[in-house]
């Protein structure tokens, strides 16, 4: 729908221009030759003008000024005009304020010639067409036309001056003024609105540089168009003209920047700086020449080279973008072609110092704006389609996300329950770890006690071995003592016999002990017998017991050797046990360290679970 509306608007503009161009411009009577005088003439009228020394020019021509002023004079014959009254004088769109006198009578003026109370001004680009009052027109003889001109310049270009009929006057006042003034006022308002719109878009998203560049281009060209169609100005006229002219250079430079960003071209940085530097130089040149309209015109004609370069550069990069397959650049290319053609038309007329029926640069810029909006419409439609597909994908992803959130809620509940279970298990694990730590500590203490006991056992075994060695030595000594005892017994037996002999003597000498002596004698006899038996038996006994003792000693020695070997093996076993116990103690110590780490890990897990559950 938008494409149809844009196409309809373009057709209406084309038809309107065609209708205006074909409008009957009326009958014309050309006044080509004029006498001129540079400078001001006080109280000058047609009859008082001394025309001696005046120059004659043929229009169009440059009128030289003196102190920004000049006069032109012309006579015409009523009978030479090939049509009837009313007559209208057409001076066109010259950049000068003037007063017109017919037969010594003031009939019209355009703009304001500066006085002590008024400053210089011009009514924009409107065409000047004045009625020649029928009461002042001489039907016989010569009619005198005198025009006083003022322009803040060294010279002013004059275009052909004509006398036309009512149709011609209507054409000048309605068609020419509309096309060259009213249209530009409308375009200035449209461009200003477009510029503010794109500037607002840039404020909403400052990363989108094309919007900023196009806003600068549109607002700048709005000032340029406003000066063309404005009737009055807020600033002095020449300063306002200079500002408007350099705004066109700024607009074209910004437009190039826009196209480079919009078409995503990689241009060297120095080129972008050049696009900023050249308009700056042009602006300085316009401000330096702001007191002279001719100087402003000369700077503008020189600036047209840069403007034409910008137009051609835009056309080239747009064509390149279309060749690369950028469909959005096709409407831009159409607008650029129209803009290049219409802009070139105005550039040629400006460089030739002529004014066409209508300046077409505004239409060209409007065509570029129109093509840009069409391109943006294409982009918006593509983005809308992409947005629809993206919305569908987002909807699907949203459903998946909702399902995932539900699963996540369930998972969260599960995680909470697991966290609680883990908390409980962690508490139990912590308690178990504490119990294990205590048990490990007890085991460690027991292992230390066992180690001490084993060391003491080892010392005891060593002491026992020493005792066994001492026992073996004692047994040897005992065996020798038994031998010595047996020998002593034999000696005792002999002594006993001697004692018995002496006892008999003693019994005789001890009367008081007679009974005892008798008993002792009997006993002695019995003892003698016993001793004899003992002596007999002692030899046997001693020999047997000695043998047995020796056998026993040998057996004991063998047993002691075996016992010593067994003790040594026991000592080795005890040493192995001690080593194993040492390894066990080390393992227990490592187990205690691991239990401590386990306690720390349980504590960290408990804190993590507390954090998650919180």
Q: Nearest 5°: CA angle at 186, between 185 and 191? A: 100
pLDDT of residue 18: 44
pLDDT of residue 500: 46
Tokens 């149809």 correspond to 4
Rounded Cα–Cα distance for residues 216 and 224 (Å)? 12
pLDDT of residue 542: 42
How buried is residue 12: exposed, middle or buried, by Cβ count under 10 Å (0-12/13-18/19+)? exposed
Peptide bond into 60 cis (omega under 30): yes
Structure tokens belonging to residue 604 = 């960290």
Rounded Cα–Cα distance for residues 114 and 134 (Å)? 30
> Per-residue DSSP letters for 517-536?
HHHHHHHHHHHHHHHHHHHH
pLDDT of residue 545: 44
Burial string for 377-387 (b: 16+ CB within 10 Å, else e) reads ebeeeeeeeee
C-beta separation of 67 from 40 below 8 A:
yes
| Residue 565 half-sphere exposure toward CB, CA atoms < 13 A | 5
Rounded Cα–Cα distance for residues 489 and 492 (Å)? 5
Peptide bond into 154 cis (omega under 30): no
SS (H, E, C) 423-488: HHHHHHHHHHHHHHHHHHHHHHHHHHHHHHHHHHHHHHHHHHHHHHHHHHHHHHHHHHHHHHHHHH
Tell how far CA 494 is from the center of its chain: 131
Per-domain residue ranges of the chain: 29-164, 177-359, 393-613
Rounded Cα–Cα distance for residues 298 and 305 (Å)? 12
pLDDT of residue 506: 45
Rounded Cα–Cα distance for residues 177 and 183 (Å)? 9
Rounded Cα–Cα distance for residues 261 and 607 (Å)? 56
What lies within 8 Å, CB to CB, of 216 at 6+ separation is 195, 250, 251, 254
Write the CA distances from 161 to 33, 36, 164, 477, integer angstroms: 9, 14, 10, 171
Judged by DSSP in three states, 601 sits in helix
Judged by DSSP in three states, 334 sits in helix
Rounded to two decimals, the pTM is 0.58
> Per-residue DSSP letters for 273-284?
HHHHHHHHHHHH
Classify domain 393-613 at the CATH topology level: Helix Hairpins (1.10.287)
pLDDT of residue 215: 92
pLDDT of residue 570: 58
pLDDT of residue 441: 73
DSSP-derived letter for residue 80 is: G
Structure tokens belonging to residue 231 = 């009737």
> Torsions phi, psi of 30, nearest 5?
-85, 135
Q: Using DSSP, how many helices (H) and how many strands (E) does the chain show? A: 11, 12
Are β-strands 105-110 and 69-77 bridged in parallel, bridged antiparallel, or unpaired?
A: unpaired
Burial string for 113-139 (b: 16+ CB within 10 Å, else e) reads beeeeeebbbbbbbbbbbebeeeebee
Tokens 């947005």 correspond to 387
**Mean pLDDT of residues grouped by 10 in the chain (614 residues)?**
44 46 71 91 61 86 91 91 90 88 90 85 83 90 91 89 90 86 88 91 88 91 88 85 92 90 84 92 92 88 88 88 83 82 76 72 77 75 76 81 78 72 68 68 70 69 67 60 52 46 50 54 58 54 49 57 64 64 64 68 66 59
pLDDT of residue 274: 92
pLDDT of residue 348: 78
CATH number belonging to domain 29-164: 2.60.120.260
Of 283, 341, 286, nearest to 312 by C-alpha is: 341
What lies within 8 Å, CB to CB, of 564 at 6+ separation is 465, 468
C-beta separation of 214 from 261 below 8 A:
no
What lies within 8 Å, CB to CB, of 83 at 6+ separation is 27, 29, 165
Rounded Cα–Cα distance for residues 165 and 134 (Å)? 12
């Amino acid at each position: 729908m938008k494409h149809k509306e844009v196409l309809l608007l373009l057709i209406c503009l084309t038809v309107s221009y065609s209708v205006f161009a074909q409008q009957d411009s009326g009958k014309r009577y050309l006044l080509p030759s004029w006498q001129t005088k540079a400078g001001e003439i006080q109280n000058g009228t047609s009859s008082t003008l001394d025309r001696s020394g005046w120059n004659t020019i043929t229009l169009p021509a440059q009128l030289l000024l003196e102190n920004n002023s000049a006069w032109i004079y012309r006579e015409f014959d009523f009978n030479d005009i090939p049509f009837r009254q009313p007559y209208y004088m057409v001076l066109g769109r010259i950049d000068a304020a003037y007063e017109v006198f017919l037969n010594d009578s003031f009939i019209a003026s355009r703009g304001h010639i500066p006085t002590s109370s008024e400053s210089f001004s011009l009514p924009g680009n409107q065409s000047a067409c004045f009625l020649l009052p029928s009461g002042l027109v001489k039907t016989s003889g010569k009619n005198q036309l005198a025009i006083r001109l003022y322009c803040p310049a060294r010279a002013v270009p004059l275009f052909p001056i004509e006398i036309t009929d009512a149709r011609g006057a209507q054409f000048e006042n309605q068609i020419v003024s509309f096309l060259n003034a009213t249209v530009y006022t409308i375009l200035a308002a449209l461009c200003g609105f477009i510029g503010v719109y794109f500037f607002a878009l840039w404020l909403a998203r400052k990363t989108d540089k094309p919007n900023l560049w196009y806003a600068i281009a549109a607002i700048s060209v709005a000032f340029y168009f406003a000066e063309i169609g404005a009737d009055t100005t807020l600033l002095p006229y020449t300063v306002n003209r200079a500002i408007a002219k350099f705004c066109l250079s700024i607009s074209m430079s910004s437009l190039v920047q826009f196209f480079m960003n919009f078409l995503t071209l990689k241009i060297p940085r120095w080129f972008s700086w050049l696009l900023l530097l050249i308009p700056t130089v042009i602006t300085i040149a316009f401000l330096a020449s702001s007191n002279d309209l001719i100087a402003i015109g000369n700077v503008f004609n020189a600036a047209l080279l840069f403007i034409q370069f910008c137009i051609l550069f835009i056309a080239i990069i747009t064509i390149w973008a279309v060749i690369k397959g950028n469909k959005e650049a096709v409407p831009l290319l159409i607008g650029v072609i129209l803009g290049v053609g219409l802009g070139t038309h105005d550039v040629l007329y400006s460089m030739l110092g002529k004014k066409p029926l209508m300046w077409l640069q505004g239409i060209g810029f409007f065509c570029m704006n129109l093509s840009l909006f069409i391109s943006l419409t294409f982009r918006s439609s593509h983005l809308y389609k992409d947005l629809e597909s993206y919305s569908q994908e987002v909807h699907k992803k949203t459903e998946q996300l909702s399902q995932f959130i539900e699963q996540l809620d369930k998972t969260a509940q599960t995680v909470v329950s697991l966290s609680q279970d883990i908390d409980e298990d962690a508490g139990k694990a912590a308690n178990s770890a504490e119990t294990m730590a205590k048990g490990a500590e007890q085991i460690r203490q027991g292992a230390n006690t066992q180690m001490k006991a084993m060391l003491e056992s080892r010392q005891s075994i060593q002491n026992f071995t020493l005792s066994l060695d001492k026992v073996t030595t004692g047994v040897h000594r005992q065996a020798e003592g038994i031998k010595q005892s047996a020998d002593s017994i034999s000696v005792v037996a002999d002594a006993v016999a001697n004692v018995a002999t002496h006892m008999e003597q003693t019994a005789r000498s001890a009367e008081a002990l007679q009974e005892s002596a008798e008993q002792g004698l009997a006993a002695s006899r019995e003892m003698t017998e016993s001793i004899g038996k003992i002596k007999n038996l002692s030899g046997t006994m001693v020999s047997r017991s000695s043998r047995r003792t020796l056998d026993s000693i040998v057996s004991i020695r063998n047993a002691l050797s075996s016992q010593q070997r067994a003790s040594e093996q026991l000592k080795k076993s005890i040493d192995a046990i001690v080593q194993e116990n040492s390894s066990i103690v080390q393992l227990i110590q490592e187990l205690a360290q691991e239990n401590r780490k386990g306690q720390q890990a349980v504590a960290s897990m408990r804190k993590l679970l507390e954090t998650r559950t919180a």
